[in-house]
Amino acid sequence: MYIFMARLVLIIVIIFSYHSASAQKNLDSLLCQLDNPQIVELLNSTDSSLKAQVLTLYEFKLPIYQPLSKLWLNSNFGFRIHPLTRQLQFHQGIDLKASLDQQVFATADGIILHSGYSRSLGYFIKIQHLAGFTSIYGHLNRIFVITNQSILQGQIIGTCGRSGKTTGVHLHYAIVRNQQYLSPSLILHKD
């Protein structure tokens, strides 16, 4: 694993040394092949120059920024007792405390895969990002985007609410990569 990461770092440094469209395309291709723990490791790297380079090129393309202006965790990723059913259930995202109609921001540039309503998530938005990442925003009150719309990191996409199966106003935020749910707490950028 160490040798693979060392080679990967060397490849990325070489690619970063060229500032051409083909280098950008190669780096996009490389990132698409990475497993999520490796991307997280790069973003959390102790090598601050490497982290700065990754963030500089990809800060708007990977879902690493906050979906709300302030993050107050209400319920974490993983197994929990569901507040409505009182059954042990796997929670596929995180729940963030919010107020009614608090603005929700896109965590990265992307394309709206779907905006609509489901019984469990209520009004929700799914955004496709670089490298197989998808972000999901649920229990919204209002939606300001439509399917196939291009959006930018930080763009207001909706407002918090209590639609769907919920006990109160909050934002359900989930990240999926290649059809696998990941812990948003590991990916969100910490300032």
Q: Is residue 44 domain-resident?
A: yes
Pick the residue with more confidence: 108 or 83? Answer: 108
pLDDT at position 33 is: 45
Q: What is the mean pLDDT of residues 169-188?
A: 87
Q: What is the mean pLDDT of residues 93-102?
A: 93
**pTM of the predicted protein model:** 0.69
pLDDT at position 40 is: 58
Asked whether residue 98 falls in the same domain as residue 157, the answer is yes
pLDDT range class, residue 27, cuts 50, 70, 90: very low
Asked whether residue 153 falls in the same domain as residue 96, the answer is yes
SS3 state of residue 19: coil
Q: Is residue 128 domain-resident?
A: yes
φ, ψ (nearest 5 deg) of residue 72: -125, 110
Q: Is residue 163 domain-resident?
A: yes
φ, ψ (nearest 5 deg) of residue 30: -60, -45
Asked whether residue 42 falls in the same domain as residue 90, the answer is no
Q: Is residue 65 domain-resident?
A: no
Asked whether residue 45 falls in the same domain as residue 110, the answer is no
- Please give the mean pLDDT across all residues of the chain: 77
Q: Is residue 64 domain-resident?
A: no
- Take residue 132 and report the two structure tokens written for it: 């197989």
Burial class (CB in 10 A: 0-12, 13-18, 19+), 190: exposed
Give strand ranges (E) for the chain: 73-75, 78-81, 88-91, 94-97, 103-105, 110-118, 122-128, 133-143, 150-151, 156-160, 170-177, 180-182
Task: Round to whole Å and give the CA distance between 88 and 81.
Answer: 4
Q: Is residue 171 domain-resident?
A: yes
Task: Output the domain CATH number for residue 122.
Answer: 2.70.70.10
Asked whether residue 117 falls in the same domain as residue 77, the answer is yes
pLDDT range class, residue 58, cuts 50, 70, 90: low
What percentage of the chain has pLDDT greater than the value 70? 64
- Could you tell me the residue range of the domain that residue 96 belongs to? 73-187
pLDDT at position 22 is: 45
Asked whether residue 108 falls in the same domain as residue 135, the answer is yes
The CB-side HSE value for 61 (13 A sphere, CA atoms) comes to 14
Q: Does the pLDDT value for residue 59 go beyond 70?
A: no
pLDDT range class, residue 44, cuts 50, 70, 90: low
Q: Is residue 117 domain-resident?
A: yes
What are the Cα distances from residue 103, in Å, to 142, 148, 169, 173, 184? 9, 21, 13, 13, 19
Q: Is residue 63 domain-resident?
A: no
For the ranges 43-52, 80-89, 128-137, 158-167, the lowest mean pLDDT is seen at 43-52
Asked whether residue 105 falls in the same domain as residue 47, the answer is no
What are the Cα distances from residue 70, in Å, to 19, 50, 164? 35, 27, 23
Domain count, the chain: 2
